[in-house]
Every structure is written in C-alpha cells, then in structure tokens.
C-alpha cells in the first residue's frame, strides 16, 4: 500500500477527511440570534401613486405562540443588596395587559408583517439612518413615488430630510392581539432570565458588510425549543443570580391562542393577496413577536379564520355588510407573482422563518465581538 492509499484508508476510518474545507467551515460558523434577508433586485422596486382598489373589509385572525412569549407591560424596580453590601436595582417586567386580557400590541404585529411584506414586494428600507443603504432602497419621500409597503402602510416621509412634509396614512389597521386572562396559560412566578443585550453601537457593525447594509433583520427560530415542555425551556434562559443587569419577566407558556383583526380599506386584489400571504405565511414557517427573541421566545403562527369583504351596497344600509370570502384566490395570485424560486431574498426569508433549522443556539453565540463582525455567514450558508 503506498502513502496515498494509507492516507485514504485513514480518512475512511474517520468517515472522510475531517479537515476538509467544508467540515472546517461548518465547525467555525458564527451563530447569531438574527440575520439579514437580502434587499433584492433594485429593478423590482415598483414605486408609484396609491391605486384605489375595490376591496375593503377585515381579516379575522388567530395567533398561536409555539414558544413562550413575552410582551412588556408594567415594570417595577426591586432594590436590595448583594452579599457584599452592594446595591442591586432589579427590574421586574409584567406581560402587557388590560383589566381582562393579555395583549400583543397591534403596532408590534404591524411592524413584523410589514417587514415580511417589504421583502416579498422589494420595498424601501425604513428606520435606517446610517450610510450604507443603496440609493434605490432609501425611504420613500414623495407621495407619487411610493413603494408597495408605503402604499399599503403609509409613509412618514423622509426622516432624514426635515423639510419633507410627505406623510401618508396607511390603508391597513391592526388591532391588538388579545387573550382572556381567564383562558391564558401564564407562568405563575416571574422568571429571572440572563441579561438581554440591547444593541450597542458596536453591534451595528454587524448590519454592514464592507459598508453595504446586509439587508432586512429577522430572528431565527430556536427550532430545538419548539414543542418542548416549559422546564426544558426555562433551563436554557434562567439566571440563578438576581442582579441589576438582568431582569425577571412574566411570560405566557406555549400554545396560547390570541385573537386579532386586520382592517383594510380600498386595496387592490394584489395588495390583499400580499397581505394575506404575509400574515399566514406557508406550512412550516412562523413569525416572531414580542421581546427576548434572541432567547427563542415569541415564535408564532397566524391563521386567517375569516375574510370578510364589504359588500358594494353597504351605503344603502346604516350598518356595514360583509361577505364571507375564501382567501385562496388572493393568496394564489400573490404566490404566483412574488414567491418565485429565482429570488434569493425569498429563499432567505423562507429559511429564516422556517421553524426547523440546524442551528445550535445552546452554544455561546451573543454578542459577536471583535473582528468577527465580517464573518457572519449569510442565511443560506447555514
């Protein structure tokens, strides 16, 4: 047996060459709680005026959380001293609620759905004031040159340009998602969790690669925590220490069902289709709502229970008349036009919203420091 053959045999014993480029790369892959979906082809940004469509009505939706969920309501500071006599101001945060319900704010739902719609329709990118955004994707500032998302949700005009007065109301309104306190399955005691890292200016570096913005931010689902019992889950996020830098939170257990409505006014068939797709997504995909997403909280699925369209003769009667309508026609036209295999950003969106992935979040993953900023792989590299 010559040297080459001996080497080959050794490799076979180790199930292939352990030090191949591929394996080495996999072992070193940087894991981060979130990643970025590419902005897409600038040629696909279709800016224009709002077109008045024929569809007004409401979507009656349910939202089921697959992992525990936490939205921040009242909080209080508990002051005490540690064993060395040093003062501790520990933050306790309660689930957002009113007298009768636990609540996920409509603004929070709207923000997440808009983010999906921006990817699907290659819309402008909002809330980014730093340099790095390609000119084609800069926030819409003229009423007759609005991207798809701004036509649907409205635009506050160009935040960078204070002389801009363009502000347009949206045509889509989200109610809060609520669950009756009596029906809700909430953890009895507040759970002290590891510190939630607020994005430092240094972390912003992660948003850019060679001065170009990486894309639109989405959080990965912690696939290994979906469908697990609460104790398994608590073990991964609980902090035994009671300090000033961590907090205790009250969260809802998995598999609670919230109710909410989305009202819409004069949408085109295409706009309604995109709205329906972005709410309901596809089998195996889910949204993320609430806080502590980096710990895997807030994975949620939305189901459209009913689509009610206002009937044409509504002005003849004093009360609005609605017609129960199947969503399929609207949904299929959206999928046909937008959810195509040739769009990298759609593949990335489906990958990061997938409730199954092979990323191991049990390893120390956050925050990324030092020169690792440039080494964050793209979504499809995982």
Binding site for Zn ion (CB under 5 A): 124, 140, 147, 150
Shortest separation between residue 216's beta carbon and Zn ion, angstroms = 13
How do beta strands 247-249 and 191-193 pair?
antiparallel
Which lies closer to Zn ion via its Cβ, residue 57 or residue 157?
157
> 11 exposed, middle or buried (CB, 10 Å; 0-12, 13-18, 19+)?
middle
Which lies closer to Zn ion via its Cβ, residue 170 or residue 296?
170
310/240 Cα distance (integer angstroms): 54
Shortest separation between residue 151's beta carbon and Zn ion, angstroms = 8
Beta carbons within 10 angstroms of residue 214's beta carbon: 18
Give every CB contact of residue 160 below 8 A, 6+ residues apart in sequence.
Answer: 129, 139
147/138 Cα distance (integer angstroms): 10
Shortest separation between residue 23's beta carbon and Zn ion, angstroms = 43
- CA 94: distance to chain centroid? 22
Which lies closer to Zn ion via its Cβ, residue 252 or residue 274?
274
Shortest separation between residue 335's beta carbon and Zn ion, angstroms = 23
* Alpha carbons within 13 A on the beta-carbon side of 53: 20
Three-class SS of residue 75? strand
State in Å, rounded, how far the first CA of the chain is from the last one: 39
Shortest separation between residue 267's beta carbon and Zn ion, angstroms = 16
Residue 302, beta-bridge partner list:
63
Q: DSSP per residue over 172-188, as a string?
A: EEEPPEEEETTT--B-S
Which lies closer to Zn ion via its Cβ, residue 150 or residue 276?
150
Which lies closer to Zn ion via its Cβ, residue 138 or residue 333?
138
Which lies closer to Zn ion via its Cβ, residue 96 or residue 147?
147
Shortest separation between residue 50's beta carbon and Zn ion, angstroms = 12
């Amino acid at each position: 047996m010559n040297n080459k053959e001996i080497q080959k045999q050794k490799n076979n014993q180790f199930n292939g060459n352990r030090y191949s480029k591929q394996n080495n790369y996999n072992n070193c892959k940087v894991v981060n709680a979130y990643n970025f979906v590419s902005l897409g082809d600038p040629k696909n940004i279709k800016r224009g005026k709002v077109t008045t469509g024929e569809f007004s009505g409401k979507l009656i939706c349910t939202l089921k959380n697959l992992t525990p969920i936490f939205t921040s309501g009242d909080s209080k500071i508990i002051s005490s001293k540690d064993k060395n006599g040093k003062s501790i101001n520990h933050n306790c945060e309660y689930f957002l609620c009113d007298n009768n319900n636990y609540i996920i704010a409509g603004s929070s739902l709207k923000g997440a759905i808009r983010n999906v719609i921006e990817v699907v329709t290659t819309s402008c990118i909002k809330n980014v004031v730093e340099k790095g955004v390609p000119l084609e994707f800069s926030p819409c500032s003229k009423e007759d040159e609005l991207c798809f998302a701004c036509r649907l949700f409205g635009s506050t005009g160009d935040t960078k340009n204070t002389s801009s007065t363009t502000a347009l109301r949206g045509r889509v309104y989200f109610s809060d998602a609520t669950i009756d306190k009596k029906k809700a399955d909430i953890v009895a005691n507040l759970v002290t969790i590891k510190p939630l890292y607020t994005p430092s200016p240094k972390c912003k570096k992660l948003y850019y690669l060679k001065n170009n913005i990486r894309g639109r931010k989405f959080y990965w689902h912690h696939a290994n925590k979906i469908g697990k019992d609460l104790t398994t889950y608590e073990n991964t996020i609980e902090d035994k220490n009671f300090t000033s830098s961590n907090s205790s939170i009250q969260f809802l257990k998995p598999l609670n069902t919230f109710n909410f409505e989305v009202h819409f006014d004069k949408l085109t068939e295409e706009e309604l289709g995109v709205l329906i797709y972005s709410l309901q997504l596809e089998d195996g995909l889910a949204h993320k709502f609430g806080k502590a997403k980096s710990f895997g909280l807030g994975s949620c699925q939305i189901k459209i229970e009913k689509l009610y369209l206002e009937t044409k003769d509504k002005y003849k009667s004093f009360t609005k008349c609605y017609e129960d309508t199947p969503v399929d026609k609207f949904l299929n036209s959206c999928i046909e036009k937008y959810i195509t295999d040739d769009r990298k950003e759609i593949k990335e969106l489906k990958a990061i919203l997938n409730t199954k992935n092979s990323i191991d979040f049990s390893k120390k993953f956050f925050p990324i420091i030092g020169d690792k900023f440039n080494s964050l792989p793209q979504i499809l590299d995982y």
